[in-house]
A = this chain, B = another copy of it.
Amino acid sequence: MHAVIVDSAIYRDGRRTEGPDDLSDALGEARATGDAFLWVGLHEPTEDEFELVSSEFGLHPLAVEDALTAHQRPKLEVYDDSLFMVVKPVVYEPEHDTVATGELMIFLGDSFVVTVRHGEGAPLTAVRKRLEAEPDVLRHGPTAVMYALCDAAVDHYVDVAGELQTDLEELETEVFAPNGSTKNTAARIYTFKRQVLEFRRATGPLAQPVNRLAGAAGVPFVHDQSRPFFRDVSDHLTRVNEQVEGLDRLLSDILSAHLAQMGVRQNDDMRKISAWAAMAAVPTMVAGIYGMNFDHMPELKWAWAYPTVVLLMAGAVLGLYRLFKRRGWL
């Protein structure tokens, strides 16, 4: 079973202390000391593996079920003896410009915090490292872990939103370049919108739980002094959500602009094509007339008729060319 336990330690007075290997003993030890807490980190545990942990900490069966199956919504559940939070960290894959979402579940009790990670994208190890370097924050107890994870996830959202913003700017340049729109432009915009939707599914529903943690009403097991920290997270999250909503609307606008541009381009092309067609049609018509086989067509006999007619044709074509040029059709 220890394979899925990524890390486990007791934190006393903001400092890591190695406690007993057995979870039961470790929890007992953490509880015995007033302000110590046990932090257990798991990675994609199976049902059986998690069963041992959950029974030890007395986790709520519904939360346990959620923690085992992926594809949860970000949320915060308050049970009688523990909190359960789901956060969906995201990873931006630059080679495909796509967004992948992982899952991070946090169980928080009186003197323990259990974190379960699904998929990549959960910056768990880095957070533990960073926290262990800041004993002042760790001293806040389990809440500090929850705050640090939310903060790390939301900071990452900010980065990903920035990447998407850059992608949008690239798309803009491409769409509005002369002859920039191709058959794939619409598909590209659509695919981008899907990425944005995927991203919003991770960031949007997190707003409500974070606001609750930051709110005046208070949540059990959460320090009152950590409220400004969650308010800060909430603030960053709101900015991400606004930015992403803006992205979504701009993508709709780009699609409309692209459609309008296509209309203009088609019209321009049609005009250009028609102008050239007219320049070919006039000599063809004149030539047809002088190709008629009437016996009595006096012009045909004239010595300078042919060059004159050819010159007239050329003149007509030139005249049309100038006319179309002036009207902006060419």
A interface residues with partner B (beta carbon < 8 Å):
60, 62, 65-66, 71-73, 75, 77, 79, 172, 176, 178-179, 181-183, 185-187, 189-190, 193-194, 197, 201, 205, 228-229, 231-232, 235, 238-239, 242, 246, 249-250, 252-271, 273-274, 276-278, 280-285, 287-297, 299-306, 309-310, 313, 328
In the bound assembly, the distance between CA atoms of A201 and B250 in angstroms comes to 14
Contact of A269 among B228, B232, B270 (CB under 8 A): B270
Q: Across the interface, do A293 and B295 meet the contact criterion of CB distance under 8 Å?
A: no
In the bound assembly, the distance between CA atoms of A258 and B260 in angstroms comes to 7
Contact of A300 among B271, B293, B300 (CB under 8 A): B293
Residue of B nearest to A197 (CB): B246
Report the minimum CB–CB distance from A45 to chain B (whole Å). 20
In the bound assembly, the distance between CA atoms of A309 and B77 in angstroms comes to 85
A260 / chain B contacts, CB cutoff of 8 Å: 185-186, 189, 255, 258-259, 262
Instruction: Take A250-B194, A259-B256, A266-B263 as given contacts and tell me if A292 and B277 are in contact as well, using a CB distance cutoff of 8 Å.
Output: no
Sample (25) of A-B pairs whose CB atoms are under 8 Å apart: A62-B231, A62-B232, A71-B239, A73-B242, A75-B235, A77-B228, A176-B190, A179-B328, A186-B260, A186-B264, A193-B253, A259-B260, A259-B263, A262-B263, A262-B267, A263-B263, A266-B266, A273-B278, A274-B277, A284-B285, A287-B288, A287-B291, A294-B299, A294-B306, A296-B306
Residue of B nearest to A328 (CB): B179
A273 / chain B contacts, CB cutoff of 8 Å: 270-271, 274, 278
Q: Across the interface, do B73 and A238 meet the contact criterion of CB distance under 8 Å?
A: yes
Q: Across the interface, do A183 and B263 meet the contact criterion of CB distance under 8 Å?
A: no
Q: Across the interface, do A293 and B303 meet the contact criterion of CB distance under 8 Å?
A: no
> What is the total number of copies of this protein in its complex?
5
Q: Across the interface, do A270 and B270 meet the contact criterion of CB distance under 8 Å?
A: yes
Q: Across the interface, do B269 and A269 meet the contact criterion of CB distance under 8 Å?
A: no
Q: Across the interface, do B288 and A293 meet the contact criterion of CB distance under 8 Å?
A: no
Q: Across the interface, do B264 and A267 meet the contact criterion of CB distance under 8 Å?
A: no
Using A187-B257, A270-B273 as known contacts, list a sample of 17 further A-B pairs with CB atoms less than 8 Å apart, ordered by residue number in A: A73-B238, A73-B239, A176-B187, A179-B328, A186-B256, A187-B261, A197-B250, A252-B253, A255-B260, A267-B269, A271-B273, A287-B289, A291-B291, A292-B306, A293-B293, A294-B300, A296-B305
Residue of B nearest to A306 (CB): B294
